[in-house]
Every structure is written in C-alpha cells, then in structure tokens.
Structure 1
C-alpha cells in the first residue's frame, strides 16, 4: 500500500489535497496527516484510500463554504458544493481527526456541509464532524429534486446508488438536519449534539461568513416555529422503503448547554419513505416528546416513514454525559410520540440490529 505523509513541515506534502492528487486511482493508499489545522477544501475520488490523523483534537481540516454564497455567474453555491471534504470512489476510511465547516449559523449562510460521504463503502472512526445546518451528508441524493438546480454539485448528473457507511466513536454536532441523506448508515457509540441556536452560540452571525451573505439579509429559516421553539433536527433521511436507512446504536444524543427542554427532534423525513431508528441510545430532556417531526410541521402526518426507537434511556446528571452516567438512567417515556412513529419491540430491534451488522461487516472489510 502506498503511504503518504502530510505535515506542516517535513512531510511528503504540506496540504491534504496535494497528497490526494498524488495517488493513482487504482492504487490503494494511506494518507497520514500530522498535527495542525489544514484550511483547505478537499475532494477525493479514488478507488481505495485511508486518511489517518493524529487525533480528534490534533488534526483539523477546516473550510467555510456555504449555500448562500453568490458564485461568479450570479447563482448560489448551494448545499452540495459547500462541503469541506468530499469522499467519493469505491472505498474510503477516515480516522482520528476533526473535519468542520466553520461558515456559521444556517439562518445566515444556509446549508454548510462539513463531510460529503459518497464512496461505495465508507468507514469513519474517531472522527469529529462540526457544523450547523447539514453537517454530514450520507449520499446518495434523493431520486428527484424539489427545486430547480437544488442538487447542483458533484453528483447532480449521476445515477443514484446505495452506499454503505459506518460511523464508530464519532462526535457529530450541528442543528438543522445535520445528519442527512439516503445511505444505509450505522452509527455506533457516537456522541451527537444539537447546537443551541437561541442563546448566544452564534452572536456574530454576519461575521461567520465575512459579511458576504447575499443581499446582507437573513434567509428565512427552514424551521417552522409557529408551533413552538425548535432548536433543530438530528436527522433528515431520504432512502427507500426497502433500504435499511440510518441506525443509531448505543449513541448519546443531547442538546448543547442552554438548549430548552423539548426543543430538539431526532429527525424529520426529507422524503416520504425515510427510515431512521435509535436502538439502546441515551438522550437528555432536550429531545422533544414527539421524538420525530413531520416535514413542514411537528404534527404533520408521515405514514410512509419508518421512524422509531427502542431502549432509549434518559441521561442521569448533566446533559452531555457519557459512559455510565449516560446509560444508567430510566427508560424514556415514549407515550407522547407522534402517532406515525413506529412501536419497536425487542424482536424488531434485534432484526434491525442484525441488518445493521451486515452493513458494519462490509464497511469493516470482514
């Protein structure tokens, strides 16, 4: 296997993108990235490539493109060209680093993707992904767009194909639809946090994008707050009914410090057949009693979805706790869930987990 070292000094290359471009498509390669903040937008379309950093808090890839940015031709950049890191090709592994989109609050900049995961097989382990709106995109795109040029980006003209993705011991932060897409994706032992959008987390909104927001005005927020205050939605899936969708196991899901009780939803359907389940996870009181929201309204009926959870426990002690503190609490009362959210019993949870295990085996190369 070809091995390339990236470092601020003394490596084979000083930028991640240069290292990617040095890899022949057909050759398997490992790119080892040293400590430091690499301010660059990366695009990887290789057959089999592994990226290894020096640690979540030591290796950081950061950029700040955003959907509302006006391009030279007068059009907006859009969601799917806003990524900090695009990973395509046949197989990609990413370990031990942070990838973030630092554009700022989506109410100003719109969507701002940190990771666009589009390889046939994706494995992320010990990776922190930071952003606001649309932090992590687990490709593929939906089969059809709702707005003209809404999918403008690397895959706008390509045939949709189901990808398999595995996230292990990752930290994912965001607010609106911040884990989204149509993949069969499994999340094990991850810490997932919704930003507090209401209290000072993004005080200098214009400054987050250098004041370059189109027209100098805030875009209309995608969250409908006519029913009540909403801080965000963890997921927004768009897969087909026969797919696995997103499966979260033994994850900790919380609102950031300051998030109001009941202000965060586990997800809403980007498309009608969306599938997302949470199995044996822990959450704090920021998660809404309805658990999942409809698209365009909390109480909107979504009968074609497959949303549900099993064995969710309430975190004991401070929000954001991990380990025994996270998983030692009482079972969450699901009696207030939206009526279209599925009742998942132990047998069904085992069946879904077994399907998730098959995805893990593929992604782990077993």
Structure 2
C-alpha cells in the first residue's frame, strides 16, 4: 500500500527550515522584489491546515506568486499531489522530510516509486528518500538534489530526468534482499542521442551494505556520470551492467571521473564505459547543466 507519494510539478522546492506564519512577505532576489505568502501545516491542528494536501489545495489555480508552506514536525500519512496549474510552491519542513512505501505482505515483489518527480525546475534540499526498489522516480524535467539521502537496493534512482545530485548520500541496502544479492543504483532512461537528460552525481558519498552496480540502462541512450564521489567497497568491479541493452554499448554514456575510495577502482570496469574530457565534465557538473535561467538562485533566497 502506497502511503506517501509526492508528485512534483513546475517550480516546486523542498527545504529544511522552520518558522512561518500566514502573512504577506517580500524577498529581494537580485534586482527584483518578490512577494510571497506563508501558511503553516500542523498535524495537531495548530496551524492553518492539518494536512499538506489541504494547504496545496488552497493555492489558487494559475498561481503567480510564491507560496511558502511550512510543515511542522509530525507524521503525515497522505498522498500529496501538486497540480501542474499550481506553480511557485515551496514546501519547507521543520524536520527531515521522509517518504516511504509499505509493502503488501502477500505480494512483496510489487513495487511502487516512493517519490515521483514529474517536474521542470524543481529542487530538493536535505530530503530523505527511503525505499528498496524504485525509490526515486526521477521521471522528467530538470531537477537539483542537494544534501539529500537516497536509499534503496534495486534501480532506486531511475527515470529520464536531467538532474544534478550534489553532496548527496547514496545508501545501498542490498543485504535486505539476501547475502549474495547484487543491486543497481541507477537506471537512467535517455531515449535518443538528442535528449539532454542524464544523471550527474557530484561530490556525493556511496556507502551501505551488500554489493551493487553503479547502474544499468533503462533506455538505449542512458547517461550517468559519477564525479568526485566517495565510493565504499560495495561497488562491483565491473561497475556497470548492460541489462537487456547488449546491442547498445556504443550508445550508452556511463562515466566516472575523479572518484575516490575502495569502490572507485576502475581497473576492472567494463570496456564500454565512456571516458570524458575535462571540458565535458566541467559542463555536466556545472549548475548550468540543469539551470541556465537562475531558478536555483531564486529558491535559495527563501
């Protein structure tokens, strides 16, 4: 049974801070003064709303101003959906915001994404994503993840998003599926060579238990880069797996650059990984890979 599924749409940001009241406020972002409202969600009824969804429902359609929804500490068992016609929403938590699924004891192989991101220009700051398989469906759009924790065992970061994961903790829990089980961190879904999407992991930390590949292609032009990332001794020496893409080795772009730790040894990696030049690495690891318009800077002002 899916307990908490968040679907992010345009300009949705998740932050880790507290202290909001229902009022009109203003922020100076570069040379602009941006008005925004604040509302409080409190599960005990001490805020403007007692559920996250009711606060989102209060946002008018075709919203044009930032709305800061401060979620106080508590457990919110609800399916949260932000419609595409309600942009400029910020969810701000006073504790680590976690999403999870509860498995049906009679069908433990059934999987649902813990978190689904169907968005453009969305940011997740200090958010925890916890699951086993298909934890984070980074479906499409440009996304920024910073200081997040993402946990799972099988394809637990997957989809066709164009996403930068910076200083995130990637926690592998392969032992949950057996002593000899080998998992997969990523399953990227780039469809053709003209698509700009791909996953970039920058200054991250890969740790946990069991054994895992860095990724396998969900679609024939999958693109993943691990850069300057610490890798524990849980990475399969081959590094990457083809899954059912044995005819597409030359189309896949799986790359590693400047990583460290016992799992980063590339001497036994598969021979079809991509060696990137420094110019390409700099381009992919720069914030401009996901943001050429300055929307990340806007969110950081709140």
Same fold, TM exceeding 0.5?
yes
Residue aligning to 1:204: none
Residue of structure 1 in register with 2:296 after alignment: 364
**1:34 offset after TM fit, Å?**
0.5
Cα offsets for 1:202-245 (capped at 9, x unmatched): xxxxxxxxxxxxxxxxxxxxxxxxxxx44311111112423141
Distance in 1 (CA, whole Å) between partners of 2:111 and 2:272 is 28
SS in 1 for 2:290: helix
The CA deviation string for residues 80-135 of structure 1, in whole angstroms up to 9 with x for no partner, is: xxxxxxxxxxxxxxxxx222223389981422211111122110001001111111
Aligned mate of 1:2, from 16, 37, 50:
37
**TM-score, normalised with respect to structure 1:** 0.64
The Cα shift of 1:41 comes to: 1.1
Question: What is the aligned partner in structure 2 of residue 20 from structure 1?
Answer: 56
RMSD of Structure 2 on Structure 1 (CA): 2.5
1:24–1:175 Cα change, 3 Å = same
**Could you tell me which residue of structure 1 aligns to residue 21 of structure 2?**
none
Task: Give the Å deviation of 1:334.
Answer: 0.6
- For residues 360 and 249 of structure 1, the distance between their equivalents in structure 2, rounded to whole angstroms, comes to 15
- Counterpart pick for 1:274 among 211, 222, 237: 222
* Aligned positions of 1:91-102 closer than 5 A: 97-102=97-102
Cα deviations by residue, 1:271-322 (Å, 9 ceiling, x for unpaired)? 000000001101111011111111149x88622101010011006xxxxxxx
Unaligned 5+ residue runs, structure 2?
1-35
Q: Which runs of 5+ in 1 are unaligned?
A: 57-96, 141-162, 202-228, 316-330
Q: Does 1:336 align with 2:268?
A: yes
Contact 1:139/1:182 (<8 A) preserved: yes
Matched, 1:189 2:189: no
Bigger proportion of residues as strand: 2
CA distance in 2: counterparts of 1:106 and 1:341, whole angstroms: 40
Aligned to 2:9: none
Which structure has more RCO (C-alpha within 8 Å, separation ≥ 6)?
Answer: 2
Residue number in structure 1 paired with 2:203: 250
Is the alpha carbon distance of 1:353 and 1:54 closer, same or farther for their aligned partners in structure 2, counting shifts above 3 Å? Answer: same
Q: 1:284 to 1:106 in 2, by over 3 A?
A: farther
The CA distance in 2 between the partners of 1:200 and 1:273, in whole Å, is 31
What does 1:220-239 correspond to in 2, within 5 Å? 229-239=180-190
8 A contact 1:310–1:345 mirrored in 2: no
Using a 3 Å threshold, how does the CA distance of structure 1 residues 113 and 104 change in structure 2: closer, same or farther? farther
Hey, what does 1:88 align to over in structure 2? none
- Listed one character per residue, the Cα deviations across residues 140-162 of structure 1 (whole Å, up to 9, x for unaligned) are 3xxxxxxxxxxxxxxxxxxxxxx
Q: Aligned to 2:282, which of 342, 350, 357?
A: 350
How far does residue 359 in structure 1 lie from its aligned partner after superposition? Answer: 1.2
Q: How far, CA to CA, are the matches of 1:272 and 1:230 in structure 2?
A: 25
Partners in 2 of 1:111 and 1:131 — Cα distance? 10
Inter-partner Cα distance in structure 2 for 1:131 and 1:198: 11
Provide the residue aligned with 1:176 in structure 2: 154
Q: State the match for 1:302 in structure 2.
A: 249
For 1:54 and 1:247, locate their aligned partners in 2 and report how far apart those are by CA, in whole Å.
28
- Is the CA contact (8 Å cut-off) linking 1:106 and 1:132 kept in structure 2? no
How far 1:35 moved relative to its partner? 0.6
Match of 1:160 in 2: none
Whether the 8 Å contact between 2:174 and 2:212 is mirrored in structure 1 is: no
What TM-score do the two structures reach when normalised by structure 2? 0.77
1:39 and 2:58 aligned: no
Q: Which residue of 1 aligns with 2:103?
A: 103
- 2:48 matched to 1:48? no
Q: Per-residue deviation at 1:26?
A: 2.4
Where 2:273 maps in the other structure, the secondary structure is: coil
Contact kept in structure 1, 2:162 and 2:199, CA below 8 Å = yes
